[in-house]
Structure formats: C-alpha cells, structure tokens
Amino acid sequence: MVFTSCFNRYHLAERLSSLLLISSLTVVAQVPAVQARQNLLSQEQRTAQYFESIRQSPLKQLAFLLEMPKGGDIHNHLSGAVYAESYIQWAADQSLCVEEKSMNVTSGPCDNSKGTIPVADALTNQALYDRLVNAWSMRFWQYADVSGHDQFFDAFAKIGEVTDGQKGKMLAETVTIAADNQVNYLELMLTPASDLSKEIGKKAGWDGQMESTWQKLQNSGIAEAVAVGKAEIAEIEAEKNTLLKCGTPQAAPGCGVTVRYIAQVARGSSLDRVFAQMVTGLILASDPTSKFVGINLVQPEDGLNARQNFRMQMKMLNFLSEKYPEADITLHAGEFFPGLVPPSDRSFHITESVLVGQAKRIGHGVDIMREDEPYDLMKELVKRDVLIEICLGSNDLILGVTGKEHPLSIYLEQGVPMALATDDQGIARSELSEEFLRAARDHNLTYSQLKTLARNSLQYAFIEGESLWQDWKKFTVNPVCQEDWQTGKSFTQITAPACQELIKNSEKARLQWDLEQSFASFESQY
C-alpha cells in the first residue's frame, strides 16, 4: 500500500488535510486576477514545505520529482540516451551479430566457429540477453571486473554498429523519456556527417596553421558535409514524427518536446579530423535554418590524444570562434578524479576551456578544486555567466565522485550557475528525475534550489531567441510581459502586443513561459 500511494500521480495533494485544501481552493477562487501571481508564490512556498516534509523518504521524493517540471536536459548524448533493451531489439531486426567474448556488435555473417552469434538469439535466451544488457550499460558494472570508467566508455564501442540507420528510433525513445520526466527541451549531442567530415579533414590535412587549413577545408568540400548534416537531422526527425504520430490527434507526449542539437567533435581523433568536425559543427550552428545550436568535444578527456592535443584544440576553437561568432560552444572539462591523469593535467582544463576555448557552458567540471586558483576561476565563471552542466549520476558511475566529494555545493556557494543533466541516461540506467533526486538526497538541495536549476536549463540553453527574464538571477520577468505574467496567463492568452511579439519570435521565451505555467499547475496541488 505504501508504494502504491507513493507513486500515485495525485498522492501529493491527498497528503494535505481536506480542510486546508478546501480553504486554499476557496482563496484561489476569490482573489482578484491581479493577485493571481502572488497566490502562485504562496503555492511555491507550500510546495517547498511539502518537499521538506518528505526529506527522509527518497521514494516519496522520487514520486514528487517525477511530476516536477524540469525545463531542459542540455547535456545528453543521443547514442548514450537509449536503453540497451532497445539496442538489442534493433540489432536483432538488422540480423547483426555479437562477439560472444567481447559483446561487441558486428555486421556478420555470424559464424559460431569464430565466436560470433546472432543478436536475435538473445530474444529467446535470457542468459545472453542479460549479458548484453550488462555489457552495453552500467547495470551490475561492479561485477564486470573493470572500472566504472572503462565499462562506461567501452559500451559506446560495443553498440556502435547498432546505431547506424537507427537514429530516428533513438530520437523517438529519447523524447519519450524526456516527456515522461516533465522535460520540455532537449539539446542532444551527435556527430553530423561523421564519415564525410573525416574524409574531408584527411583530404585537407593539418599543416599546423589554422588559417591555411581552414581555407583548404573550404576547397575540399566542407560545404557538402554541412549539407549532409542538415539532411541527416531532417531524416531522423521525420522518422521520429512518424513513429510517435506527431501532428495527428494520436500524437505521443514526446512530440511536445522541443529538440536542438550539439555537434560532437571526437577529441581523441587526429587533428585534421578534429578541425574538420569543428568547422562542420560551427557552420551548422551558425545557420539559422539548422537545428544545430553549438558544438562540444566528446570522448574521454583522459585519452592519450585528448591530453596531448588539448591546448591545440582550445586554440582551434579560439580561432574558429572568430570565424563563426554566432555559434555557441560547450565543452566537457574537468571530468577527472585523483589519479586518473597526472596532476599537471588537472590544473588547467576548465580554465582554458573558458578563457581560450570560449566555452559558454562547461560539462561536468568535477575537478575544479584541483585547477590553479579555483576560487578566482569560479569568480571568472560568474563574471562571464558560464553555466556548469552537472551530471551527478555519470560522475558517480564513471569517476566514483559523489556526495561531499562532488563540487556542487561549492559551485552553489560561489554563485556559479548550474543545471542538472543526464549525460547518458540509457547507459547509466537513469533519467533526469533521478538526477534531481541525487541533488536533493546527496546535496540537500531545497525545492526552490531545484526549481532554479530547472529554470537555468532553459536560460542557458542555446535555443534561439530573447529570454523571458529581464533579470535571470532573480527571475524578474521582461517588462513587456509584466501584466500578463501577474495574471498567470498561458501564452495562448497573452494580450499585451509587445509580449505577444516576444513569445512569437523567441522559442526560448516560449519554452520559459511554458515551464512557468507547468510549475503553476504542479504547485497548485499543494
């Protein structure tokens, strides 16, 4: 009975006494329209009080957080967002094979004498099915005889063959999970025109001079890679729309999730390929007709090429940021734990990602206290308004960093903006609601602080348009929307012409307004 009650969508309102509920509803019905926004503030306070009352029950907190609006998930790798069970089915559908020893997927034909068997066998073999799920994710990783770090990153190589031609299905699954977690916006990382940009980079070569290499890329067909990147997104979104019946009366909830894309750059690759991928991604992110909004360097930060070429890659970004000033940059940096790399490597990655690489957001930032002059660095992050994408579950599984060892509380203390994100929810076997639970459970964050993180996810998203907030530190609404804001209208009911224009022309403002309406509805239960 406890668990049933805990996970009932309406259990939270039922916790209040009937007298208080009736009284609250009476007050809401009687207050003038101009006081509606003030009433929403009292609803937020009551919601916060309820959240504190269940502080000692993680299960009740999870039920609460599953229903809480969360804004955006802005650090999410598409290939890592999908659960292993889906990859197994898709691999079986494609008649792919798996190496019994390594659990790597191959194209076949399958040959049992060489240790490769059909993935489809797993659909009738529970033992094989379990082995695949465990190998392609972090489930039971403690018994895999490898570190969490290696288990995590090795999983991508194992499933690589499956993802070809499946990105529409991958997107459909990811937006479905997002909608289930009350997420209205996603920034998904993937690599546009991966093979083609690699070929073009090899053709142009890398001569150590950025201007001449950039010019050679223009003459080697980089525009073709850009066109292919745009076409890929159109194709996978069309498949997602078909699968979820978007645009029809039967549309699935995932259709309501707005998606933009971050172009991945493989930092462990050769410099010619890295530079070509950077240029491809930055051109796409500069194009207002493209759904790419920025770029990010991916793959393990502690990899050999990533370490040896780190400073050069930052210089590349510095150079290219002047060529493509409209494009945004977010970078994985400081994804270290003590002993993972030499101390000298741990002293500058976040600093140079911001000061040289021109990152507007930092992914992870776990090792910030090992940076040279960390407090001065955090002051610079505040000054530049650089947000940290906090991935608590990922940091625990990959780095073993959790609880007081994680710098979240220090970032909070120093006023550095943050947002919570999943990183690779499918491989990690997690979801954004559980990231919020970790923040509340392990770092004692209040409802108000969690709400700020949710709002930050949209404020610092690379989505196009002007912000709803005049002051996003205090969440003071843009004056043109003040009257409609005070009366608590949905964006379809806005009457002020200037506010209508803002919401019409700004996808960011529309998403922010939608989030606030969702908060109002959620908090009205209390």
pLDDT attached to residue 522: 96
- Asked if 151 and 223 sit in the same domain, the reply is no
Find the CATH number of the domain harbouring 325: 3.20.20.140
Handedness of CA 168, 242, 230, 181 (dihedral sign): negative
Helices (H) and strands (E) in the chain, counts: 26, 13
- Asked if 96 and 45 sit in the same domain, the reply is no
Locate the DSSP E strands across 91-242. Answer: 97-99, 105-106, 116-118, 183-190
pLDDT attached to residue 38: 57
73 located within any domain: no
- Asked if 41 and 122 sit in the same domain, the reply is no
Task: Give the end of a domain, one of 137, 162, 187.
Answer: 162
- Asked if 403 and 502 sit in the same domain, the reply is no
74 located within any domain: no
pLDDT attached to residue 483: 87
339 located within any domain: yes
- Asked if 175 and 297 sit in the same domain, the reply is yes
Interval 202-232: pLDDT, tens: 999 999 999 999 999 999 999 999 999 999 9
pLDDT attached to residue 485: 83
Alpha helices in 205-309 (DSSP H): 210-219, 222-243, 271-286, 304-308
Q: What is the mean pLDDT of residues 343-355?
A: 97
Q: What is the mean pLDDT of residues 397-407?
A: 96
Q: What is the mean pLDDT of residues 281-310?
A: 97
- Block residue for tokens 């929403």: 40
pLDDT attached to residue 489: 73
DSSP state of 361: E
pLDDT attached to residue 490: 75
Q: pLDDT: is 177 or 485 the higher one?
A: 177
pLDDT attached to residue 486: 79
Closest alpha carbon to 66 in 393, 409, 509, 430: 430
Q: What is the mean pLDDT of residues 467-485?
A: 92
Look at residue 8 and tell me whether its pLDDT is greater than 50. Answer: no
Interval 23-70: pLDDT, tens: 443 343 444 444 555 565 689 999 999 999 999 999 999 999 999 999
Q: pLDDT: is 163 or 40 the higher one?
A: 163
77 located within any domain: no
Q: What is the mean pLDDT of residues 138-150?
A: 91
- The pLDDT-based confidence of 145 (bands split at 50, 70, 90) is confident
153 located within any domain: yes
Task: Give the end of a domain, one of 139, 162, 185.
Answer: 162
- Asked if 28 and 98 sit in the same domain, the reply is no
How many Å apart are CA 242 and CA 454, to the nearest integer?
30
The mean pLDDT value of the chain amounts to: 92
27 located within any domain: yes
pLDDT attached to residue 25: 38
Q: What is the mean pLDDT of residues 173-189?
A: 98
Q: What is the mean pLDDT of residues 313-335?
A: 98
User: Exposed (0-12), middle (13-18) or buried (19+): which is 491, by Cβ within 10 Å?
Assistant: buried
Instruction: For strands 387-390 and 418-420, give the pairing.
Output: parallel
- Domain of residue 41 covers 2-67+463-523
CA geometry: angle 295, 284, 317, nearest 5 deg? 40
- Asked if 439 and 498 sit in the same domain, the reply is no
CB 418 within 8 A of CB 390: yes
78 located within any domain: no
- Asked if 298 and 443 sit in the same domain, the reply is yes
Number of domains in the chain: 3
485 located within any domain: yes
- Asked if 306 and 231 sit in the same domain, the reply is yes
Tokens standing for 50? 């309820």
What's the predicted TM-score (pTM) here? 0.91
The phi-psi region of residue 140 (left if phi > 0; otherwise alpha if psi is between -120 and 50; otherwise beta) is left
Interval 363-377: pLDDT, tens: 999 999 999 999 999
- Asked if 237 and 144 sit in the same domain, the reply is no
The percentage of residues in the chain with a pLDDT greater than 70, rounded to a whole number, is: 92
- Asked if 313 and 399 sit in the same domain, the reply is yes
- Asked if 204 and 311 sit in the same domain, the reply is yes
pLDDT attached to residue 123: 98
Task: Give the end of a domain, one of 412, 442, 459.
Answer: 459
pLDDT attached to residue 121: 97
